[in-house]
Structure 1
Amino acid sequence: MATKTILVKLKKPTKKKHKQFIYEQKEFSNCVNDCVERIQNGEKISSKDVPFNLKSSIKNEAIRRAKKAVSDYRKGRATTIPIFKKSLGVKINNQNWNSIEKNGRWYIAFTSNMGKKALPVVETKDVQTFFPFLTQKKKGFRGTMELLRKGKHWYVAIPIQISSELDFEKKHKRIFENMKRQKSTSIGVDLGLGHIAVVSEPFSGKRQFFSGKEVGYMRRHFCSLRRSLGKAKALRVIKRIGKKEREWMKDYNRKLAKDIVDFALQFDNPIIKMEALDDIRKTCRSMKRADKTIHSWSFYQLKQFIKEKAAKHNIPVVDINPYQTSQFCGCCGHAEKNNRYGDKFRCVKCGYTCHADLNASNNIARSTSLAG
């Protein structure tokens, strides 16, 4: 599954609703800032402990946002903890909003302090395409929505789970085929286990390594928990642990995808190239036992997040034929299995040496062979 976020404009709300939404935005941002301070002080808080005039479900979203801000700071993903502004978008979980069709028109219904209200939207192609799948009965397609304001206008940012990206792929394959007629910068992304990702632009020599140690540690941690809980036959707790692990991986993948796209944005007209994923699982099976702890890591999910974030900046992402990308010498062009040993690359013909994953990333960036 892939995620597509659409921005839908609300038809001009009444003055009363406009005033109420501004008030809730302010309450939400104040709530997040208050929760950040309390979490830093070691408090464990729930919605009943939060003294703000918001629905409990929205308080819970504020707590999640605050926890993420503190976590990012503590893990070094952010240099400071931000002070959230009054214009912060209000998060509304998937159980508290849905689309409604009335007399051939589409509305968005969501929970606020005024109760659950249905507001008409400006109908676009996205609305016509996706709103039939966002009704009350089809919760599986909905994610956490965000209520936003731009000046006097109100919008909702809606994430949608979609199963097909055929049009997306066709569009970016056309871009790739026309790349020779344009001055584009190729960015290679090699996915693996020792390093989750290695990103490079071979002509400038810029590169970035993303270690797999944190992922490996968390996988082993959750695996150990499940083993001990299994002996105690705590089946419900095991289920919760599995959900927690998936959420952790999803959050990690989103952050990693952002870092990869940020790397690409350093260059003019970037195009991101990645190997087709068919052979990654086989590679995992050939790894040492210690490395198999991250065999189930969701490479596919990471790739979808990269595509999603790259699309926001109009950066095409294309699949490259993975044949011999890890064995090909970037210096003389000789390809042989013996060129690579573990994380070391040394060409048996010309003696060129390089980190094996960096060499593969550079080869992916230079490749013009699309995956079939």
Structure 2
Amino acid sequence: MGHANPRLVYDGIKDPIDALLTGDAAKTQLSVWREGPEWKVSFTVTDSGDTSGEETHVGVDVGHNYILAATPDDGSAQSFLVSGNEYTFVRRYYRSLRDSLQEAGALRARNHVGNKEYRRIQDANHTLSNRVVEYASQFTNPVIKLEDLEGIRDGSEWHGVHS
């Protein structure tokens, strides 16, 4: 019995699948399920990647004035700094709005506002993570190193604020 070839492979995952099929990568997890008449598969590919050359370590620090600062360890490029003003504005705006709605007794509207705030912050975080990856991709064999984030909420001015 021969191996079935995938009938539809999205462009974004073609390279990892080719690496898996040629033996250059390993499959670490596999899920198969059926949706109507179609069979679908999901799997994790572990790829050793391009190991030729030196790695460039890019340190990423999370802060208050700059929500994010990234720079290569060797100082070979200008730092990537992102102001935290947008996050501060969103948090203050929605906190004020929630407080007003709470005083008015509009609990359903208050909860809806909390959900909007969560989605805006999630979107900003997603955009920010993509920008960090884009910044790091300018270096040879980049390795992104994050600071230890344990206890990060304890030092935040927003400690105790829940959406």
User: Structure 2 length as normaliser, TM-score?
Assistant: 0.69
Counterpart code for 2:70: V
Structure 1 partner of 2:124: 252
Q: Percent identity?
A: 31
Amino acid at match of 2:148: A
| Distance (Å, rounded) in 2 between the aligned partners of 1:213 and 1:200 | 20
Cα distance, 1:248–1:10 mapped onto 2, change above 3 Å = farther
Residue type at the aligned position of 1:262: E
1:238 is aligned to 110
Q: Retained in 2: the 8 A contact 1:183–1:269? A: yes
Residue equivalent to 1:268? 140
* Residue 37 (structure 2) aligns with: 119
* Structure 1 unmatched runs, 5+: 1-8, 13-104, 109-117, 130-167, 285-291, 298-372
Which of 2, 13, 34 is residue 107 of structure 1 equivalent to? 34
Q: Aligned residue for 1:335? A: none
Q: Please say if residues 66 and 84 of structure 2, whose CA atoms lie closer than 8 Å, have aligned partners that are also in contact.
A: yes
Seen in structure 2, the aligned counterparts of structure 1 residues 107 and 10 have a Cα distance that, compared at 3 Å, is: farther
Q: What are the within-5 Å matches in structure 2 for residues 75-90 of structure 1?
A: none
One-letter amino acid of the structure 1 residue matched with residue 83 of structure 2: S
Larger Rg: 1
**Residue 200 (structure 1) aligned to one of 57, 63, 71:** 71
Give the equivalent residue in structure 1 for 2:87.
Answer: 215
Q: Deviations over 1:193-220 (max 9, x none)?
A: 1111001113313211100011101100
Give how far 1:236 is off: 0.4
Q: How many residues align?
A: 132
- Unaligned runs of 5+ residues in structure 2 are 9-31
Is residue 153–residue 159 contact of structure 2 (8 Å, CA) maintained in 1?
A: no
1:191 aligns with 2:62: yes
Task: Give the letter for the 1:235 counterpart.
Answer: L
Equivalent AA in structure 1 for residue 135 of structure 2 = F
State the distance in 1 between where 2:115 and 2:147 align.
29
Letter in 2 for 1:191: V
Which residue of structure 1 lines up, in the alignment, with residue 26 of structure 2? none
Runs of 4+ in 1 over 3 A off after TM superposition: 9-12, 293-297
Q: Which amino acid aligns with 1:106?
A: W
Give, in whole Å, the separation in 1 of the partners of 2:145 and 2:136: 11
| Change over 3 Å in CA distance of 1:249–1:225 after alignment to 2 | same
Distance 1:119 1:11, change over 3 A: farther
More helix, by proportion = 1
Q: Deviations over 1:227-246 (max 9, x none)?
A: 11111000000010010000
Give the direction of change, closer, same or farther, for the CA distance of 1:255–1:220 in structure 2 (3 Å limit): same
| Residues 10 and 247 of structure 1, relative CA distance in 2, 3 Å threshold | farther
Compute the TM-score of the two structures, normalised by the length of structure 1.
0.32
1:229 corresponding residue in structure 2: 101
Per-residue CA distance 1:156-190 (angstroms, 9 max, x = gap): xxxxxxxxxxxx9xx89xx8xxx9x9510010100
Q: 1:188 & 1:296 partners in 2: Cα distance?
A: 28
Aligned CA-pair RMSD: 3.2
In 2, Cα distance between equivalents of 1:253 and 1:295: 20
Per-residue displacement from partner, 1:129-180 (whole Å, max 9, x unpaired)?
Answer: 9xxxxxxxxxxxxxxxxxxxxxxxxxxxxxxxxxxxxxx9xx89xx8xxx9x
